[in-house]
Structure 1
Amino acid sequence: MTKLVFLLAVALSLAACNNYVAAQKKHIAVEGIDPAKKPGDNFFLYINNKWYDTARIPPSQSGVGAYMFMNYPQRLRLQGILDSVSKATNTTGSIEQQLGDFYASGMDTLTIDKRGYDPIKPMLRAIDSIADVAGLVRFAASGLKAGNGSILSFSVGPDNKNSHLNIAHLYQTGIGMPDRDYYFKTDSPTVAIQAAYKKYLAALFTLTGSNAATALSNATLVYGIEKQLAATHKTNIELRDINANYNKMPVAVLAKKHPNMGWLNVLTILGVTTDSIDVAQTAYYDQLNALLPGIPLSDWKLYLKASTLNVYTGELSKPFGDAAFEYTKVLKGQAVQKARGEQIAEAVDQLLGEALGQLYVKKYFTENARKRALELVNNLQQAFAARINHLDWMSDSTKQKAKEKLFAITKKIGYPDKWRTYKQVHIERSSYFENVVSAASNDYRHQLEKLGKPVDRSEWFTTPSTVTAYYNPAANEIVFPAAILQSPYFDEAADDALNYGGIGMVIGHEMTHAFDDQGAQFDKDGNVSNWWTKGDYARFKAKTQQVVDLYSTFTVLDTLHVKGALTLGENTADVGGVSIAYDAFKLTPQGHGTTRIDGFTPDQRFCISIARIWRVKMKDAFLRYWINNNPHSPPMWRVNGPLMNMPYFHQAFNIQPGDKMYVAEKDRIKIW
């Protein structure tokens, strides 16, 4: 150990010790361990099997437990806040009045059902009046400003090659199912989803006046157009290629390339003033340009009607929501619809999230939690730096660049320092559809106002009440909303083993994203720029291939495997995150002690905490949906995958050759 590293370890240990003394610890028992399971065969089930066998998935949900499914009780919390403000007498113009009126409008199902699909009829009439391809594109561009993108997907965000400036971006779109592969796979679960989706499209036409035969014919036609658009889409794995999905070009070149799109008119309608656009997936717009005159205009009109109805089913009368749910039920396995209050609380959180977030933080989040979380982040950052110093595969020059990037990371915890306002959103208690359109239009204006301006590094891209965390490579920042700073991830009064194995893993995970296969292509300022030596990057790529190969062997359902290439970034972050969290934990008094709690050593409790935070049970249909669309591995493999590569796990639970999770030391993956 060098003198610098030794002094760093002492300083971290003292800091952790001070924090340990300052916090009032409480005994948190670890329950539910199944002694019939061997920890070395399946650690996730060893810790969670008793819970897994008895847990019941609520009929309105596709899964239960931690991680994303914690957002179900979160929505109930938000519903409680919204119920309260909707019934109170609020100051005109206050966020309480905005939130209360918006929520009340969504809960007024009598008015919503009475209106049927009247609110959307002006849009449908506008589609009927389209006379040519130019008019079709004009409708699509106008709709985009109100959240109805159909064949166009536009946003404003940082330039990958100049991360301090916001530019215009176009993305592939135009399909109603989650991903292009749903249109082409022929396995029985996917075929069932295709049938359910076509039935849903037919229901939309039936609900707006078509007879059964016509509705079915229209649905088949719309599905055919979507399939042609889907054929141009990149796969989820291809979308991970940073450079291949950056295609900034002059507007004049784009306009010449796609004469049928009328890009200059599109940009005028969108209110966009720019001389260049990043067209992320060019093949989609190339094909769309060819299809516009190649498909009869009458067919395009049916497509636009189906697409528009699909966007707004949640804001129309109950039969539309029921039709959408019948499709969702097949896609995700959900047995019954979410309660109305939960649905509207979710909508408010999406559309007025930072207004609702202020009330959530005030009621459920403490400044002590924010401070303690920042201390953990700082400790893991120092531990990560020490790990970089000891890497045997990276040169000193690249190590220096890596540490510069590590210490340039911006840390956002709990909630934004500057709250977004929604004063431009027009809200009436009797007009839910119009309220949603107004909020969506406000979101579009919020995007457009950023075009050509410096990036606001204080902006958040999730709400404080969402159980999530993220790393943003363009800003080189890590973000931990208030909602994730709760049990089982974080407890101010828990022992350090549980907190470092819980939120510590999450923190380490997000930090490692700065150095996963995608994040490693961005420099400390958020620009796509090579900061590696050629040899170091080649060794890094070889190590990430080990991650792809290992995770691809994990069987989830029947013959369904984890997609190692799709989940590479998240798996790399899990493996690195656990290692960094463990090193930081070892600098605490408990970490370098031997005192047992409930019969478990500190290292065992650290590992147990990792398994507890991914305690999730899902329906098989949703698990299939997850594998096809989610870049994370399923929860079981977020536990077993990293731990089977960790020497301290083998030591703590005496993992031996012959155990299913045993990996020989020479074969263990170590990147960061």
Structure 2
Amino acid sequence: MATARPLACALVLALIAGVASPAADAQKKRAPAKSKAPATANACTDFYASANADWLRANTLSSTAASVSALGQLNERARTQQIELLQNAMNSPQGDVQKLLGDFWASGLDEAAVERDGAQPIAPLLGRINAIKNSKDIPASIAALHQVGIPVVFNFGADIDLKDLTRHIGYFSQGGLGLPDPAYYTRTDADTRALMGQYTSYVEKILALTGTPQNKLAAEARQVIDLETRIAQASRPLLDLRDPRNNYGPVEAAKAAKQYKRLQLAEFLKAQGVSDDSVSIANPALFAQLDNLVGSLKPEQWKAYLRWRVGDSMAPYLAKPFRDAEYDFRGRLLSGRPAPSRQQAVLDAINLAAGPMLGREYTRRYLSAPTRARAEEIATQVRGALGAAIDRDSRFSAPAKSEAKAKLDKLAIEIGAPRRDLDYSVQPMGRGSFGSNMLIASTWRHREEMKRIGRGNADRRWDVLPQQPALAYDIAQNRLIVTAAILQPPVLDTGKDIAAQYGAYGALVGHELSHGFDNRGRLVDAKQELRDWWTPSEASAWDAFGNRVAAQYGGFAYPGLSGTRVNGTQVRDDAIADLAGVELAWAAFRNAQPSASKTTQQDFYKGWASLWAEHLSPAAATERAATDVHAPGQWRTNAPLMSQPGFGEAFGCKAGASMQVAADKQIKLFP
């Protein structure tokens, strides 16, 4: 099935989470971590080890886990909460949405029913495909599959219009392949040839399950791979697509429909419920090729391809032969991931197809009014501290400060769930067919996604679900997004002193808000227009500061790895944001509690440290050292505090101690 949002404009929708990836804790590796907190660590020598000593002792790394972390445990808690909610919705639903979710959950857990269902959920889709008689029938089938969340031939989704950040347009982009990289279809090395042989076998298995006779399997699999190869040859390399400008090609919708007549794009847009006047087609050569293929390839080849795409997309939600075939190729061979439990697989399916429904109920169940109020109060105070910091920042000119303050004044804070709710009217699901429910829910979500297209809808919903722990700055909409799931320990622990809440949650807020005014935020101004509002001298001053931060982090040994240091350049931007977060949260805390005792002040810094407690296996540490844009937990904790006079005063650290560098060597973003 398609994800609800196949595109990602990294330039203008940078949801840069300040927390570790939840996926890391789920990976399975061989070797456990050997490192432990030094027995002699204290606040002034290694605050990370000192503050997290109890956690580090209590949470050892098993021999089968890649990592364990405080934030990973938060992600697991959020998943457990989702399961509890679904169980309750299954047994005693409260309202129509819970009834839908409860039925969806029950149908997925009933494995016997799933097996009895076989391929019946996709029978209507296969029937429509098998009824294709000529080339004019093909585009209608393509449009119908997109409607149910199965993108074939190409991808189509809502995303920001780079010329007008207040609106979304529909993006026609490359897709339609069964392999994740177009290069697989054209490379000739031995490894790729071997992979393509295994892929061919997988295609044959799915075609057999969707009705292809045994004596035609090889021929139809060749037809599928031939068509996909033709699409891949006209697709751009994945590396090129990392630049969002290469994904953006605005054109009048009516003009596109005339240019690619065989694809029947006008009818396609109408079927998706889209009536906007503009779309994006960033690769016209690809769509010219697709338009030609609709008219030049025989319908039988198209039918084989479409049946394959339906079977492959729906395989995880159908009977065991489908699931086993899909997991053997995609799960074991391509990803190397363990097979999920049945509960986990069903939960993942619900989040994919009905995630906003689950998010609505999750927020109502797990986010209390007092917690929401506290989160908004602290975030508002940190935003105020940022305004004061901008005023005194000597790196920036009066015009830059004026633009920054105007942007800050318009910055919205959204807590818990999106402000604009969705339309939850949907076909009743029932408990008889998990696969059918998947299609019902996916059709609903696609419908709601299409409503994002057009003027006035850019803030319609978030690009993260409320039940997923996340705290992010949405650069396109100039808003701070705080999900319901993130507002629990260790991020916001309402059972702890408020100082710890500022140190943990408040610092993450400051981290994210800083992204609106850093070397990325400078690209969008207060009017939500793409414009660099820094001067060259201001950009140079920022780079000079960033180089100091990179040099500092580059001097740190990577925990658990011999002879490896932190890649300062790689972690620089988020290290600056960590520094901003601590500075801004500390300022907000001191403004709120100017008479706080030394013990209370210590709680602030302990709150910060509690976020980053972790154990990594050597393999996980090696991978993160090479790829992660965040520093490891020890240095996310310690490095921002080394230049904080407040830290040294709170813990009585002498100048020159490991955790209190000399005044002339301190690195401060907002002196």
**Which TM class, normalised by the smaller chain length?**
0.7 to 0.9
Cα separation, 2, equivalents of 1:212 and 1:631: 49
Conserved? CA contact 2:220–2:304, under 8 Å: no
Match of 2:500 in 1: 498
Partners of 1:636 and 1:120 lie apart in 2 by: 47
Q: CA RMSD in A?
A: 5.0
Match in the other structure for 2:19: none
Contact 1:40/1:662, CA 8 A, preserved across alignment: no
SS across alignment from 1:35: coil
Q: Is the 8 A contact 2:608 2:637 kept in 1?
A: no
Q: What one-letter code is carried by the residue in structure 2 that aligns with 1:614?
A: W
The equivalences for 1:306-385 within 5 A come to 306-326=308-328, 327-329=330-332, 334-338=337-341, 340-385=342-387
Report if aligned partners of 1:34, 1:50 keep a CA contact under 8 Å in 2.
Answer: no
Identity among equivalent positions (%) equals 25
- Aligned pairs for 1:89-488 (under 5 A) are 94-128=96-130, 130=132, 135-176=137-178, 203-205=205-207, 207-208=209-210, 218=221, 222=225, 225=228, 229=232, 232-233=235-236, 235=238, 241=243, 243-255=245-257, 261-279=263-281, 285=287, 302-326=304-328, 327-329=330-332, 334-338=337-341, 340-417=342-419, 419-455=421-457, 457=459, 459-488=461-490
Q: Please list the CA deviations of residues 98-135 of structure 1 after superposition, one character each: whole Å capped at 9, or x if unmatched.
A: 22222222222211111222322443454455566665
> Where in structure 2 are there 5+ consecutive unaligned residues?
1-35
SS at 1:445 equivalent = helix
Counterpart secondary structure, 1:502: helix
Q: CA deviation at 1:64?
A: 4.2
Task: Name the CA shift for 1:263/1:464 in 2 (closer, same or farther; >3 Å).
Answer: closer
Task: Give the C-alpha shift of residue 430 in structure 1.
Answer: 0.6
Q: What secondary structure does 1:404 align onto?
A: helix
Alpha-carbon contact 2:273-2:447 (below 8 Å) kept: no
1:72 match? 76
User: For 1:623 and 1:200, how far apart are their aligned partners in 2?
Assistant: 34
SS of corresponding position for 2:248: coil
What is the one-letter code of the residue matched to 1:615?
A
Q: Which runs of 5+ in 1 are unaligned?
A: 1-31
For residues 320 and 209 of structure 2, what CA distance do their matches in structure 1 show?
11
Q: 1:594 to 1:97 in 2, by over 3 A?
A: closer
Q: 1:192 to 1:145 in 2, by over 3 A?
A: same
* Counterpart code for 2:475: P
- 1:508–1:581: 8 Å Cα contact kept in structure 2? yes
Residue 20 of structure 2 corresponds to none
> Which residue is equivalent to 2:588?
584
Aligned to 1:83: 87
In 2, the alpha carbon distance for the partners of 1:201 and 1:611 equals 49
In structure 2, how many angstroms separate the alpha carbons of the residues matched to 1:63 and 1:671? 34
Q: Distance in 2 between matches of 1:562 and 1:294?
A: 55
Q: Report the CA distance between 1:316 and its aligned residue.
A: 0.5
Cα shift readout 1:153-196 (whole Å, capped 9, x = no counterpart)? 22234433333334322334334566678889999999999998
Q: Helix, strand or coil: the match of 1:424? A: coil
Instruction: Assess if the C-alpha contact under 8 Å between 2:61 and 2:67 holds in 1.
Output: yes
State yes or no: 1:595 paired with 2:593: no
CA shift in 2, pair 1:560/1:170, >3 Å: farther
Q: Distance in 2 between matches of 1:667 and 1:195?
A: 58
Where 1:72 maps in the other structure, the secondary structure is helix
| Superposition TM-score, scaled by structure 1 size | 0.76
Cα distance in 1 between the residues matched to 2:630 and 2:190: 23
Cα pair distance change 1:465/1:473, threshold 3 Å: same
Q: Equivalent residue of 2:385, what SS?
A: helix
Aligned to 2:611: 613
Q: Is the 8 A contact 2:567 2:625 kept in 1?
A: yes
The alpha carbon displacement at 1:392 in A equals 2.2
What is the aligned partner in structure 2 of residue 4 from structure 1? none
Q: Does residue 643 in structure 1 map to residue 640 in structure 2? A: yes
- 2:9 alignment partner in structure 1: none
- In the alignment, the residues of structure 1 paired with residue 142 and residue 379 of structure 2 have an alpha-carbon distance, to the nearest angstrom, of 45
- One-letter identity of the residue aligned with 1:595: K
In the alignment, the residues of structure 2 paired with residue 188 and residue 225 of structure 1 have an alpha-carbon distance, to the nearest angstrom, of 20
Q: Which 10-residue stretch deviates more, 659-668 or 635-644? A: 659-668
User: 8 Å contact 2:578–2:640 — kept in the other structure?
Assistant: no
Separation in 2 of the partners of 1:360 and 1:304? 36
Stretch deviating more after TM superposition (318-327 or 100-109): 318-327
Deviation at 1:378, TM superposition (A): 1.3
Cα contact 1:206–1:215 (8 A) shared by 2: no
Aligned letter for 1:633?
H
Whether the aligned pair in 1 keeps the contact of 2:227 and 2:305 (CA below 8 Å) is no
Structure 1 residue 588, shift from structure 2 partner: 4.6
Matches within 5 A, 1:16-31: none
**Residue aligning to 1:17:** none
Q: Can you list the C-alpha shifts for 1:639-670, whole angstroms capped at 9, x where unaligned?
A: 16963874459956969989799899669584
Cα offset for 1:303? 4.6
- State yes or no: 1:574 paired with 2:572: no
The match for 2:24 is: none
**Farther off after superposition, 95-104 or 631-640:** 631-640
Counterpart Cα distance in 1 of 2:303 and 2:188: 29
Instruction: Write the deviation string for residues 317-367 of structure 1: whole angstroms up to 9, x where unpaired.
Output: 1333334444335666544422x2333334334444454345434433221
- 2:578 maps to a residue whose letter is D
One-letter identity of the residue aligned with 1:388 = I
Cα offset, 1:61, TM superposition: 8.5
Letter of the aligned partner of 1:468 in structure 2?
A
Does the Cα contact within 8 Å between 2:89 and 2:102 map onto a contact in 1?
yes
Query: In structure 1, the residue corresponding to 2:166 is in which secondary structure?
Result: strand
Q: CA offsets per residue over residues 508-542 of structure 1, 9 Å max, x none?
A: 12212222443322223433234334543454466
Distance in 2, matches of 1:131 and 1:566, equals: 55
Give, in whole Å, the separation in 2 of the partners of 1:186 and 1:552.
40
Q: CA shift at 1:436, angstroms?
A: 1.7
Contact residue 117 and residue 433 of structure 2 kept, 8 A? no
**What is the SS of the residue equivalent to 2:454?**
coil
Moved more, 631-640 or 354-363: 631-640
Partner deviation per Cα, 1:403-450 (whole Å, 9 max, x = no partner): 111121111112345543412233122122222212221222223334
| Greater mean alpha carbon deviation, residues 135-144 or residues 375-384 | 135-144
Task: Tell me the TM-score normalised to structure 2 length.
Answer: 0.76
2:630 alignment partner in structure 1 = 633
1:639 counterpart letter in structure 2: R
Cα gap change, 1:349/1:46 in structure 2, threshold over 3 Å: closer, same or farther? same
Q: In 2, Cα distance between the equivalents of 1:298 and 1:549?
A: 61
Distance, in Å, in 1 between the alignment partners of 2:193 and 2:609 is 35
Preserved contact between residue 57 and residue 618 of structure 1 (Cα < 8 Å): yes
